[in-house]
Structure 1
Amino acid sequence: MSKSWSIDSWRNLPVKQMPTYPDAQALGAVEQELGSYPPLVFAGEARALKEKLGEVAEGKAFLLQGGDCAESFKEFHPNNIRDTFKVMLQMAVVLTYGAACPVVKVGRMAGQFAKPRSADTETINGVELPSYRGDNINGIEFTPEARIPDPQRQIRAYNQSASTLNLLRAFAQGGFADLSKIHRWNLSFVDGSPAGERYSKMTTQIDEAVAFMQACGITAETAPQMRETDFYTSHEALLLGYEQALTRQDSLTGDYYDCSAHMLWIGDRTRKADEAHVEFLRGVHNPIGMKCGPTMDEDDLIRLIDILNPKNEAGRLTLIARMGAEKVNDHLPRLVKRVKAEGRKVVWSCDPMHGNTIKATNGYKTRPFDAILSEVKSFFDVHKAEGTHAGGVHFEMTGTDVTECIGGAREVTVDSLSDRYHTHCDPRLNGGQALELAFLMAEMIKQERDDARELLAASA
């Protein structure tokens, strides 16, 4: 690990999961061009998110992070952006009520293109080609031409990210996020859900709370907080040349920020302490996430925390546990205990998607809803047992009615996977499944609050 940091010091270290471009000169020209483009986000926005995540780390807020597994050029449409944003707003309202605290909303949007792969190549019918690594690198079509990494795709990804961000900002501040409107959407969901009766009590209570606020004069017309919201973007910082090209020095502080997104994370495959991805992200001042799988060692985790968050700042680092439903209880407690014992300030978040991927009998890659819910429940149980804060969740999801994850109240069966299986990479929760999870999590969190209140009353 280099002691001095610069925006290109990562280039001196081993790097994984990066494509090999056949034309280095063309790649350099694209990176230089991107370096002259406007930042997609601003340093002050990243600082604001870090402050909010600091509240999460202290148990005063909850993190909801969600969006596409991998954004694509083909599915780029304002309706898709709107639908995912809408479902995240609906989830946030339900979770806010259940947790009785603010929900920090972060999208896997406006930049989540590149994907790590388990192998450099894939073989179909005896033909071997380079793996698809995301639309900002190569094409998903299984042809030799499409699979060649093309640096011009980074320009298109930047432009799509800018357009997505523009729309998200308009939705967040232009009245689309009106609380009473979101609540009406939730009422409609509950009315049409096979499990609607279970969730109706909570929606009735939220309805009464909204009516009470309106009676007190707190409406969309009198309080901006009722019609506007803060929404942040994030993606995995995988394609480091692109990330470097969009890194800017903040004029107020002199610190460097990766202005491709408000928050970046390191994947489970690229989190080696002496390699390029950790080197790059240790030097930018954005909030950082790090995936922690079952192979994460306690000593390695503390070492990585100290590299990425040397000042032990609350809100700087989010640890995203992705264990798998059957492995959470074997691996998460030891990590949580060690981090707590060492006094490290982190946000603990649960990614219940990546450890629960299976291949269905018909060959489709899928994720069972029950396994996803089970991992979330175990995540909350572990933190309750250890006396730490279960700070958030991290979902791969879409607002559209895809059929990629099996199960849920409106059950997606193995046989129906082929109906609307649109993902370019891993299976996503559809809008109904994501919102159902929010209701179930809100029930869990509210029950914990009620139990704690009863315990306090009994001891008084």
Structure 2
Amino acid sequence: MTFPTLEHLRTLPLKQQPSYPDQGKVDQVVERLRSRPPLVFAGECDDLREKLAKVAAGEAFLLQGGDCAETFDGVTAENVKNKLTVLLAMSVVLTYAAQVPVVKVGRIAGQYAKPRSSDTETRNGVSLPSYRGDAVNGFDFTAAARVPDPERLLDVYNASAATLNLTRAFMTGGFADLRRVHNWNRNFVAGGAMARFEKLADEIDQALRFMVACGIDGDQMKTVDFFASHEALLLDYEHAMTRIDSRTQQPYDTSGHLVWIGERTRDLNGAHVELLSSVRNPVGIKLGPKVTPEDVLGLVEKIDPEQEPGRLTLITRMGAGKVREALPPVIEAVEQTGRKVVWVCDPMHGNTFTAKNGYKTRSFSDVVEEVNGWFDVHDDLGTWPGGVHIELTGDDVTECVGGSGGLIEQDLESRYETVCDPRLNRDQSLELAFTVAERLTDGRINRHNPVQAFVPAEL
């Protein structure tokens, strides 16, 4: 495939990019990034694409989750561990309760830039550039902090490298060992989903003890595969991090294993689609309720002309009240092309509202309703519901109302810590995992699929 130059991309429709005051400084930073080692490797991206091909074939499920927007201050061992703990606990629920292998992908080690609906933010009559993530400018509402600074792209690289190092250490150094499953739940609130997780953990312990007694005690129980993903929003950064693989002579965006195009930047003739259609990574596309079948067909033909299994992940973000109506024609159009893409539900972005006290929030009941509507559509069409994409945190924040903890709007000010969109806290995330597992179990029964045996190697 032909890899476009950065100069060519800048001639195409280009949305959601920073307005840097000094283009010469941007070019210098890009050149420095080009000399940095890759953050991920081509072989890892190929491995993920193979796993996603199994998801597309209905043989596995994708769990993708993490912060709405990572921050440089959040790159600590404790913060990374907490996020991984939630994702591990959710994956265990899905694997054991629903009896389906789970591909684990974090919104991690690169999610430092965010698209915004407005270029400016106004407070008390003062207007400043919008905060676009730590990759672009500062969160503080001051003129100095809000100036886009290309040097921050180097900070993104360093923060992502540190996060990936921590993640790999946790996933291969014993933390993810299934025999530690009870240790993962220490920070969860007792009751509700936690009680269900304790019961499930007991069952896993019994199964593992039986397997050890049978002489099965391999490394598969001690480590898990974990992949990094983010929205490929900043073209300067993504282009600079693309490398030509020495084995295949093909370009890979080495900033992350899976990169996706957002709802605001999926212009078929735009620079984002042009860039990601030219790299060998698995590619995701966010699709909102206004997308048409014609829009989607144009995108999938552009990015996946060879109909390669595992290449495309279509992440729908329709909203609880629109998913049942907006999703079916999109699925039907893509399925008619013969492609088997990964269908993923993002139940977060279509369900955001502003509470009476001014906090941007989401209702857990709306999140669950969109998940259920999404499953209903797939059940009706006979297609495989391939995964969920969740904005979540490993901390006990109060950003989304509802859930078994009974959070209400007055609770939001207690621990509202996100710098952008509200996230599910650790207990709401675990509760959602049980909901998804139940729907997966029901769907497998309805499709008369044989129930797979518990296989630790697939966790």
TM-score, normalised with respect to structure 2: 0.94
Amino acid at match of 1:49: L
SS at match of 2:223: coil
Residue 37 of structure 1 deviates from its aligned partner by: 0.6
Residue 416 of structure 1 deviates from its aligned partner by: 1.0
Q: 1:240 maps to what in 2?
A: 235
Pair 1:189–1:23, CA change in 2 (3 A): closer
Residues 190 and 199 of structure 1 are in contact (CA less than 8 Å); yes or no, is this contact kept in structure 2? Answer: no
Q: 1:89 maps to what in 2?
A: 88
Residues 286 and 315 of structure 2 are in contact (CA less than 8 Å); yes or no, is this contact kept in structure 1? Answer: yes
Q: 1:171 maps to what in 2?
A: 170
1:194 counterpart = 2:192: yes
Alignment map for 1:403-418 (pairs within 5 Å): 403-418=398-413
1:262 counterpart = 2:252: no
Deviates more, 1:115-124 or 1:175-184: 175-184
Residue 443 of structure 1 deviates from its aligned partner by: 1.9
Q: 1:384 maps to what in 2?
A: 379
Pair 1:229–1:200, CA change in 2 (3 A): closer
1:309 counterpart = 2:288: no
Q: 1:126 maps to what in 2?
A: 125
Q: Give per-residue Cα distances to partners, 1:224-243, cap 9 Å, x unaligned.
A: 11000110000000000011
Q: Give per-residue Cα distances to partners, 1:389-437, cap 9 Å, x unaligned.
A: 0000000011011110111112222111111111010001111111111
Residues 7 and 280 of structure 1 are in contact (CA less than 8 Å); yes or no, is this contact kept in structure 2? Answer: no
Q: In 2, Cα distance between the equivalents of 1:269 and 1:191?
A: 37
Q: In 2, Cα distance between the equivalents of 1:398 and 1:100?
A: 25
Residues 7 and 247 of structure 1 are in contact (CA less than 8 Å); yes or no, is this contact kept in structure 2? Answer: no
Q: In 2, Cα distance between the equivalents of 1:21 and 1:33?
A: 17
Q: Structure 1 regions of 5+ residues with no counterpart?
A: none
Q: 2:150 maps to what in 1?
A: 151
Residues 71 and 109 of structure 1 are in contact (CA less than 8 Å); yes or no, is this contact kept in structure 2? Answer: yes
Amino acid at match of 2:262: G
Q: Give per-residue Cα distances to partners, 1:340-367, cap 9 Å, x unaligned.
A: 1221221000000000001111110001
SS at match of 2:427: helix
Residue 448 of structure 1 deviates from its aligned partner by: 2.8
Q: In 2, Cα distance between the equivalents of 1:388 and 1:454?
A: 13
Q: In 2, Cα distance between the equivalents of 1:31 and 1:210?
A: 49
Pair 1:190–1:446, CA change in 2 (3 A): farther
Residues 98 and 445 of structure 1 are in contact (CA less than 8 Å); yes or no, is this contact kept in structure 2? Answer: no
Q: 1:327 maps to what in 2?
A: 322
Q: 1:343 maps to what in 2?
A: 338
Q: 2:210 maps to what in 1?
A: 212
Pair 1:427–1:86, CA change in 2 (3 A): same
Q: 2:29 maps to what in 1?
A: 30
Report how many residues are paired.
Answer: 450
Q: 2:456 maps to what in 1?
A: none
Q: Give per-residue Cα distances to partners, 1:26-47, cap 9 Å, x unaligned.
A: 1111111011111101111111
Q: 1:55 maps to what in 2?
A: 54
RMSD between aligned residues: 1.9
Deviates more, 1:13-22 or 1:205-214: 205-214
Deviates more, 1:8-17 or 1:169-178: 8-17
Q: 2:281 maps to what in 1?
A: 286
Amino acid at match of 1:422: E
Deviates more, 1:189-198 or 1:243-252: 189-198
Pair 1:170–1:189, CA change in 2 (3 A): closer
Amino acid at match of 2:279: V
SS at match of 1:251: coil
Amino acid at match of 1:99: A
Q: 1:428 maps to what in 2?
A: 423
Pair 1:86–1:190, CA change in 2 (3 A): closer
1:182 counterpart = 2:181: yes
Q: In 1, Cα distance between the equivalents of 2:255 and 2:229?
A: 8
Pair 1:195–1:46, CA change in 2 (3 A): closer
1:100 counterpart = 2:99: yes
Residue 310 of structure 1 deviates from its aligned partner by: 0.8
Residues 3 and 251 of structure 2 are in contact (CA less than 8 Å); yes or no, is this contact kept in structure 1? Answer: no
Residues 42 and 252 of structure 2 are in contact (CA less than 8 Å); yes or no, is this contact kept in structure 1? Answer: yes
Q: In 2, Cα distance between the equivalents of 1:454 and 1:421?
A: 43
Q: In 2, Cα distance between the equivalents of 1:280 and 1:120?
A: 24
Q: 1:141 maps to what in 2?
A: 140
Amino acid at match of 2:258: M
Percent identity, aligned pairs only, is 54
Pair 1:198–1:246, CA change in 2 (3 A): closer
Deviates more, 1:426-435 or 1:3-12: 3-12
Q: In 1, Cα distance between the equivalents of 2:297 and 2:148?
A: 36
SS at match of 2:410: coil
Residue 447 of structure 1 deviates from its aligned partner by: 2.8
Residues 236 and 266 of structure 1 are in contact (CA less than 8 Å); yes or no, is this contact kept in structure 2? Answer: yes
Q: 2:295 maps to what in 1?
A: 300
Residues 7 and 283 of structure 1 are in contact (CA less than 8 Å); yes or no, is this contact kept in structure 2? Answer: no
Residues 348 and 390 of structure 1 are in contact (CA less than 8 Å); yes or no, is this contact kept in structure 2? Answer: yes
Residue 450 of structure 1 deviates from its aligned partner by: 3.6
Q: In 1, Cα distance between the equivalents of 2:187 and 2:96?
A: 17
Pair 1:273–1:216, CA change in 2 (3 A): same
Q: In 2, Cα distance between the equivalents of 1:191 and 1:84?
A: 16
Pair 1:200–1:451, CA change in 2 (3 A): farther
Residue 185 of structure 1 deviates from its aligned partner by: 3.2
Pair 1:151–1:424, CA change in 2 (3 A): same
Pair 1:230–1:217, CA change in 2 (3 A): same
Q: Give per-residue Cα distances to partners, 1:175-224, cap 9 Å, x unaligned.
A: 111012125535x68881235556666455444433332332223xxx11
